[in-house]
Amino acid sequence: MGGYAGGLATLRASWAAIPPGERIRLAKRTSNLFRARERSGVPGLDVSGLRGVFAVDVEARTAEVGGMCTYEDLVDATLPHGLAPLVVPQLKTITLGGAVTGLGIESTSFRDGLPHESVLEMDILTGTGEVITCRPQGEHADLFHGFANSYGSLGYATRLLIELAPVARAVALRHVRFDDLESLASTLERIVETQAHEGEEVHYLDGVVFSATESYLVLGRQTDEPGPTSDYTGMNIYYRSIQHDGSTTQHDLLTIKDYLWRWDTDWFWCSRAFGAQNPRIRRWWPKRLLRSSFYWKLVALDHRHAIGDRIETRHGRPPRERVVQDVEIPARRTVEFLRWFLDHVPIEPIWLCPLRLRNISSPHPWPLYPLRAGETYVNVGFWSSVAISPGQAPDAVNRQVEQVVADLGGHKSLYSDSFYDRATFDRLYGGAALRDLKDRYDPDRRLLDLHDKAVRRQ
């Protein structure tokens, strides 16, 4: 933990260097957020010393990590012990602190909830400059539970103690095809309830919708059985391996490490926007750059110089609206949302990931993202752009998505563009609870408000 002490010292020194009254921000060069934000000339907090894995307790099945530790580094430290975090978000450079304050999800979420639900305690740098240790019970339990989905508006996690779980050598996969959305949804709900399918345990569950008549559930089972494993870190592309004609269930086997990062190599399917899925280009693409963090840099470059818009203009095509969102829909209404989306938004494929809150001790245990305990939700992820029709507002589709999600009783993640008015935002994201927490832990409002960050892009 000596490294943690040094990281805190660096962090506190950078805090002291920020002029009084100025807003507090992180000095990070990379991010997994997809919403633009205003640049500030004020120096940010130096969190470079909070990237490490401080300890792995194999017997207790816990890991103690810095808030800026990436899941890639954590998995590298835990897998040699046959352990992994309960929920490992899909992209390697997502940090532990980011997944907790900004939410994360993966194919274990139907059993183990969201990443913040396996946190045992954490240190949080608050708006007063104090580092507070928070646990589910005790003096600062309100900050512990309010931190999820706060996106830095209540402070920044500097240290987290999280649960780990045993994992096997490999994951055996079954790709089950459906020709209609109703069958897909009913099977998904049944698997969530029973954690099994056709007599076989299901440890991992997600899905892909290619169209209204072609969709898949991918069922994963941990196994130590020997056998050759597939490799999707080179020429082969994982999401294409899922597709088949439906005559039989298709099987596959991945090492546990390759399974955890199966989506990172091609950023789900978004690498096709850069030509990385073209065999002629992929053959020469450096393997070390087949990863989400590099594609993100390409996106940042495009945003900075409007490269995509210039290309569309040069070819006489209309500008495009970026539609990059993840939404949580009650499982019983998932088909409604998918049918609306497929009819109105020309984006495919679509990712599906079911989840249930792990903590059911209270009806709304996480006030800033108040999902109902005991209910199954389906995360629907779609990440692309659509042409802006003549006379249409440049944010029209995103606003439609927000309205439909609200009408269906769902929630939308805040890592990307949001357009809610203040009253609606406060109703959906625990505005009253956030104000109370700000009064206690950030009374001088040194940290940005959540609505300002998520909607006003400050």
Decide if pLDDT at 405 tops 60. yes
* pLDDT (average), residues 217-222: 98
CATH for 2-167+438-454 is 3.30.465.10
pLDDT tens digits along 235-273: 999 999 999 998 888 999 999 999 999 999 999 999 998
**The pair of three-digit structure tokens given for residue 458, joined into one six-digit string:** 């400050």
Residue spans of the domains in the chain: they are 2-167+438-454, 170-262
Q: What is the rounded distance in angstroms from the CA atom of residue 226 to the CA atom of residue 214?
A: 32
16: CB partners within 8 A, 6+ apart:
none
- pLDDT exceeding 70 applies to what percent of the chain? 94
Cis amide linkage into residue 349, ω under 30° from 0:
yes
Query: Rounded to the nearest 5 degrees, what angle is found at the Cα of 110, between the Cα atoms of 106 and 111?
Result: 105
Question: What percent helix, strand, coil does the chain show, rounded to 5?
Answer: 35, 25, 45
- How far is residue 285's CA from residue 282's CA, in Å, rounded to a whole number? 5
For residue 364, pLDDT over 60 is answered with no
Contacts of 255 (CB under 8 A, 6+ apart): 169, 170, 171, 229
Q: Looking at the predicted structure, is the pLDDT value of residue 362 above 70?
A: no
CA distance 277 to 33: 24
195 Rama sector, left if φ>0, alpha if ψ -120 to 50, beta otherwise: left
Per-residue model confidence (pLDDT) at position 299: 81
pLDDT digits (tens, 9 = 90+) for 9-61: 999 999 999 988 888 888 766 666 766 666 666 678 999 999 999 999 999 99
pLDDT score of 363 more than 70: no
Segment (H or E) for 351:
strand 350-355
CA separation for the pair 288, 269 (Å, rounded)? 17
Condensed to tens digits (0 to 9), the pLDDT of residues 407-442 reads 999 999 999 999 999 999 999 999 999 999 999 999
Alpha carbon distance 24, 27 (integer Å): 10
Which distant-in-sequence residues (6+ apart) come within 8 Å of 214 by Cβ? 177, 178, 179, 243
H or E element in which residue 383 lies: strand 377-387
Look at residue 315 in the predicted model and tell me its pLDDT.
73
Which of the two residues, 85 and 32, has the higher pLDDT score?
85
Q: Is residue 312's pLDDT more than 70? A: no
- Whether residue 377 contacts residue 355, with contact meaning beta carbons closer than 8 Å, is answered with yes
Interval 172-190: pLDDT, tens: 999 999 999 999 999 999 9
